Amino acid sequence: MIDVDIGPLVAPNSIALLGASCTNNSFGKGMPDMAISGNFKGRIYPVNPKYTDELGCRFYNKLSDLPETVDHVVLAVANESLKSALLEAIEHEAKAGIVFADYYGKTHEGIPLKDRLKEIAEASKILLCGPKSMGFHNLDQGLKATKLLTGYRGQKDLAFDALYKAASNISRLAFDLVDHIDEMNVNPILISATQAVALDVTTNIKS
What does the pLDDT look like over 48-93, one tens digit per residue? 998 877 656 789 999 999 999 999 999 988 888 999 999 999 999 9
Q: Residue 152: pLDDT band by 50, 70, 90 thresholds? A: very low
Task: Report yes or no: 145 and 38 within 8 Å, Cβ to Cβ.
Answer: no
Taking residues 165-190, report their average pLDDT. 75
Q: What is d(CA 155, CA 26) in angstroms, rounded to the nearest whole number?
A: 11
Q: Residue 1: pLDDT band by 50, 70, 90 thresholds? A: very low
Task: Report yes or no: 117 and 111 within 8 Å, Cβ to Cβ.
Answer: no
Which pLDDT belongs to residue 36?
72
Calculate the CA 53 to chain-centre distance.
24
Alpha helices in 56-190 (DSSP H): 79-91, 113-124, 160-176
Taking residues 80-108, report their average pLDDT. 90
Which pLDDT belongs to residue 75?
92
Q: Domain residue spans in the chain?
A: 7-146, 160-205
Please state which CATH number belongs to domain 7-146. 3.40.50.720
